[in-house]
């Protein structure tokens, strides 16, 4: 069984897909990595807000959230300029996946 501790150790988009055993096209992840991971982080943040202690349910949610986001981008979703610039603050990315899924709601210092 996949654990939350193992999930927290993941760092790259490919690691998330491999962790959950989700097939992906390398070129989709390579070209849309930032957008996929940002959208995934936003979905996870919503799910983690409702975390009630059932780790199995949470791991299923994390897997299906990644599938949902990936399928949107695989089908050709092209982010608008507003989405791209909205991810940036003073020329730097706003937050990271670790910040988005933090159960404590804190920041990792990114």
Strands (E), the chain: 88-89, 92-93
**CA gap 42, 28 in Å, rounded:** 19
- Across the range 93-103, mean pLDDT stands at 52
Split at pLDDT 50, 70, 90, the class of 95 is: low
Q: Is the pTM of this model over 0.75?
A: no
Band (pLDDT 50/70/90 cuts) for residue 110 is very low
Structure tokens that stand for 107 in this block:
């920041």
pLDDT tens, residue by residue, 21-35: 999 999 999 988 988
For the chain, what are the domain ranges? 4-101
Segment among 4-8, 77-81, 105-109 with least mean pLDDT:
105-109
- Distance of alpha carbon 19 from alpha carbon 7, whole angstroms: 8
């Amino acid at each position: 069984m996949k654990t939350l501790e193992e999930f927290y150790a993941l760092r790259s988009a490919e690691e998330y897909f491999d962790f959950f055993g989700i097939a992906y096209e390398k070129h989709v992840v390579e070209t849309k990595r930032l957008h996929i991971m940002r959208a995934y982080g936003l979905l996870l943040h919503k799910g983690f807000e409702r975390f009630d202690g059932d780790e199995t349910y949470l791991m299923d949610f994390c897997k299906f959230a990644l599938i949902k986001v990936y399928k949107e981008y695989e089908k050709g979703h092209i982010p608008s300029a507003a989405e791209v610039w909205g991810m940036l603050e003073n020329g730097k990315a706003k937050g990271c996946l670790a910040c988005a899924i933090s159960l404590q709601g804190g920041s990792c210092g990114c």
